[in-house]
Chains A and B, each alone.
Chain A
Amino acid sequence: MTAFDLRRPPEQDVIDDCVHCGFCLDACPTYALWGMEADSPRGRIVLIGDALAPDAQMSDQLVTHLDRCLGCMACVTACPSGVKYDRLIERARPQVERHHRRPVAERALRRLLYATLPHPARLRILKPFIGLGRRHRVRALMPTSLRTLTDVAPRASGGAAPSLPERTPAVGEQRGRVGLLLGCVQRVFYADVHRATIDVLAAEGFEVLAPPRLGCCGALELHGGAEDAAIGRARQTIEAFAALGVDRVVVNAAGCGSAMKGFGELLGDERARVFSAKVCDISELLASITPRAPRGPLALRVAYHDACHLAHAQGVRTQPRALLRSIPELELLEVSTEPGMCCGSAGIYNLVQPQAAAELGERKARNLLATGADAIAAGNPGCAAQLDLHLRRLGRPLPIRHPIELLAESIAAT
């Protein structure tokens, strides 16, 4: 009897692919922070592999080191042997949830997070309280975990919430019909990103269907190890889009896109695989077509931040950059120090591992500031919130936009 049960355990074959070369150590943010082998991908592979052995036990140490993994997959990019570490950590986390009893406070926090974040309606209710929670006196009274929650939550943008219609027709001749995932956090805190996405897609000749009753795609739960919940949401998501008859399912949040492309693997059935094959990030879709809508100038120096779930998980790097470069007078700047390193947001990571997340967030903020940019472009709401927090903490706030927002602005400027 191994430390893991037989429900989708991490695969020995993947473990065996690791030749222990250590190239991943250079890419791993937690190894950069702590220099400890057990907090490196190579070390975590040993931990997971050993847990597959007969008579293996799950230990607090094993859980600690797996919990500390951001799931950023920079190691997958770095690995010369092609070890699919993402499969290992994704399958290990639910095992931890099933077989390890966390301390009561931690359990409560996780329950709270899963009860709120994937639920747009509940998030809307909580939104004003977050602002309250940032006031000094209130903040001082809160337990640390709740304080962190309010700290890392996105700042509500002023102004009325934009309309996100269920159906938006194409402008001019229609060249396709796409579905758009409205999701959870993005819809409540960054609805402007959805508005921009719909506007650009329509301008480019796509009919956009955005099912309003479909909530979270389950990415947060999937990446956090709440496997059953994630499977349930995956089915709902597939169901919701199946009825619509769309050519592609467009996503503008990196974590969601990554999760949805993985539904085939998660559910293991043909329907899920077919669905996953339709999923693409907005930048991928735009990069694959000849642009129609003329772009107007945006004289901005923009540093592009690679969200881990776009760059490492999906291999989407050139497309967002191409999107930004298509905007006249926009100067695209690259982060030169630790460009592939996670900002620390990583799903619920910055809520359950606040210290590590804060160190990484500050590091990334400094590296972005070093580019001399006027604005940051980031394709993930979690990253946007994290970067905003840490730039403010350094006293150097900068506007943070999704690349699609900049493109929408550019198209509107003509």
Chain B
Amino acid sequence: MPEGSPELIQRLNEICGREFVLTHPHELATYRSDGLLHYRQVPVAAVLPADTAQVAQVVRACYEAGVPFVARGSGTGLSGGALPAPDGVVIGLSRMRRILSVDLPNQRVTVQPGVTNLAVSHAVAPTHFYPPDPSSQIVCSIGGNVAENSGGAHCFKYGFTTNYIQALEVVLPDGSLVTFDRDAPGYDLLGAFVGSEGTLGVACEITLRVIPAPESVRTLLAFFADTGSAGDAVTAIVDAGIVPGAIEMMDQLSIGAAEQSTGAGYRLDAGAALLVEVDGPAEECDPLVSQLTEMCESAGAFEVRAAADEAERDLIWRTRKAAFASMGRISPAYYVQDGVIPRTRLAEVLRQIDGLAADYRLRVANVFHAGDGNLHPLVCYDDRVAGEAARAEELAGLIIKACVDAGGSITGEHGVGVDKKAYMPSMFAEEDLATFQRLRCAFDPDGLANPGKVMPTPRLCGEVPGPYRQHPLERAGVAERF
């Protein structure tokens, strides 16, 4: 494994202090993966800056040394977005976890990027909350949420991270500092940055919009014989013009795994569980409970429960949120997917997935955000059995293809990262990818910010005023100047 240049390491030591610049292979090993264990890459150094000024200096040092860098929040991402670049530096934002200000009259909170998603809601409770709520919110960082434009269970009604960012203070890939404000005239650079997966710079100070917490929250859990009938219930609900705060579905396999972790009492004999949560003013919300119960029963639910109090509601959600991580209990290994399909094609695509799983003789558990068609098929396999991992990967690819063919997307909230970049050409033509690259080059002409992510093939940026320098990839004939 290559080592970082001594000069760069020395500079990093000067900026952050020796104890926050890690170069020992054992310590670097802890940064080699994010939430996807099957991607590993050890960086040449991992740096943990304390504040924006240090981040800017670190990035500047990397820029001047021509060394790529990858920003990392809590390392819980599911697309390999924080996978280190070979020969690169990991910039860990986990020490920058202060909530800088809470301004409830203006309904804004400013945080450092290492603050966890849940901490934001806690800071403004009970009158307000921060809507984007990924299942990993207890640990995932706001910085990471910005990078991926995270959604979560409540995004069908409330929207995504990009709808809740008011301003960003960003360190650009050359180390300069710039502030994006949603309301400032000019290009929506803030909109371009959110969801750019760390390839346009490092967000160091994030101003979030929070909204009043709903007056009433009613949570129902309905059990069906199969996902088809659960899907019918969803259709009935959405067609009636109801916009639930969340509609989540789990299939039998995922129910079984999650129940082992939480013991919340989900029906293990159900083919599907549907979690429907409505929230809002009490006058609107409370009458919906009986209406929703009826709709579920008409669609075939054999049991419908309404949470009686906060503790019950919490337990219902905990099972859903533990679903992914609990898969370890029923399978030695699994691939997590994140396909999106138009909601109207849900039943059809689920049947397709079932068929594919049978063909491949592999189990596929399903957890998904039924309201917006975001599926999380979990392709289970045993990596100790020869060839099974490869088959599982193939099956995973076919599932994604089915989603795209149905008019959907390869990723609803986890991001492209390194895991899905090979599928980008199935969604985007060459002209589309080339246009993405224009944006990327405006921010990062030298390709130092999280290279190797999002775009399927290495690309260079075209002419920049100044002397022409041939890039090593060009010399190697691996990339073309475009």
Contact = CB atoms under 8 A, between A and B. Distances in A.
B269 to A, nearest CB: 23
A37 B33 contact: no
Interface in B48-104: 48, 74-76, 92, 94-95, 97
B365 to A, nearest CB: 14
A327 to B, nearest CB: 24
B408 interface: no
Main secondary structure of the interface of B (DSSP, over half): loop
Contacts of B95: 34-36
A357 B202 CA distance: 34
Interface stretch (B191-199, B232-240, B291-299, B319-327): B319-327
A82 B37 contact: no
B264 interface: no
A19 B36 CA distance: 8
Contacts of A59: 24, 26
Contact of B139 (A19, A25, A47, A50): A25
B163 interface: no
A166 interface: no
B452 to A, nearest CB: 20
B329 A43 contact: no
Contact of B48 (A16, A26, A36, A62): A36
Contacts of A19: 37, 324-325, 327-328
Contact of B329 (A18, A25, A36, A81): A81
A17 B30 contact: no
B242 interface: no
Given A26-B116, A80-B326, A47 B260 contact: no
B422 interface: no
A82 B261 contact: yes
Between A17, A36, A82, the greatest number of chain B beta carbons within 10 A of the residue's beta carbon is seen for: A36
Interface string B125-161: 0000000000010111000000000000000000000
B136 A20 contact: no
Nearest to A24: B139
B342 to A, nearest CB: 30
A26 B139 contact: yes
B76 A22 contact: yes
B263 to A, nearest CB: 12
B139 A16 contact: no
A23 B30 contact: no
Nearest to B37: A20
Contacts of A22: 35, 74-76, 136, 139-140
A23 B27 contact: no
B94 A35 contact: yes
B328 A81 contact: yes
A81 B326 contact: yes
Contacts of A348: none
Nearest to B331: A19
B29 interface: yes
B407 interface: no
A21 B260 contact: no
Interface residues on A, range: 20 to 34
Interface string A1-44: 00000000000000011111111011000010011111010110
Nearest to A25: B139
Interface residues on B, range: 35 or more
Contacts of B261: 80-82
Nearest to A58: B26
Nearest to B334: A19
A50 B29 CA distance: 8
A21 B35 contact: yes
B109 to A, nearest CB: 18
Given A22-B136, A80-B326, A62 B26 contact: yes
A36 B48 CA distance: 8
Contacts of B92: 35-37
Interface in B309-354: 322, 324-329, 332
Contacts of B139: 22-23, 25-26
A43 B74 contact: no
A46 B30 contact: yes
A290 interface: no
B31 interface: yes
Nearest to A47: B26
Interface string A104-118: 000000000000000
A37 B325 contact: no
Contacts of A34: 95
B37 A37 contact: no
A288 interface: no
B325 A81 contact: yes
Contacts of B97: 35
A337 to B, nearest CB: 10
Interface in A360-397: none
A61 B322 contact: no
Contact of B332 (A16, A26, A46, A82): A16
Interface in B242-262: 260-261
A36 B94 contact: yes
B114 interface: yes
Contacts of B114: 35
B24 A37 contact: no
Nearest to B260: A82
A35 B114 CA distance: 9
A38 B30 contact: yes
Contacts of B74: 22, 25
Contacts of A21: 35, 76, 136, 324-325
B33 A20 contact: yes
Interface in A78-101: 79-83
Contacts of B37: 19-20
Contacts of B24: 59, 61
Interface string A245-266: 0000000000000000000000
Given A61-B24, A82-B328, A23 B29 contact: no
B418 to A, nearest CB: 15
Nearest to A60: B24
Contacts of A35: 48, 92, 94-95, 97, 114
Contact of A61 (B27, B48, B324, B332): B27
A224 B35 CA distance: 31
A13 to B, nearest CB: 10
Contact of B27 (A26, A38, A80): A38
B268 to A, nearest CB: 17
A71 to B, nearest CB: 19
Contact of B328 (A17, A31, A50, A65): A17
23 contacts: A16-B332, A19-B328, A20-B34, A20-B36, A20-B37, A20-B75, A21-B324, A22-B35, A22-B74, A25-B139, A35-B48, A35-B95, A37-B31, A37-B75, A42-B30, A43-B30, A46-B32, A47-B26, A50-B29, A59-B24, A80-B324, A82-B260, A82-B328
Given A22-B35, A46-B32, 13 more contacts: A19-B324, A20-B36, A21-B76, A21-B136, A22-B76, A23-B136, A36-B22, A36-B95, A37-B94, A50-B26, A61-B24, A81-B327, A82-B260
Closest 9 CB pairs of A and B: A80-B325, A81-B328, A43-B30, A35-B94, A37-B30, A35-B95, A21-B325, A22-B76, A80-B322
Interface of B: 22, 24, 26-27, 29-37, 46, 48, 74-76, 92, 94-95, 97, 114, 116, 136, 138-140, 260-261, 322, 324-329, 332
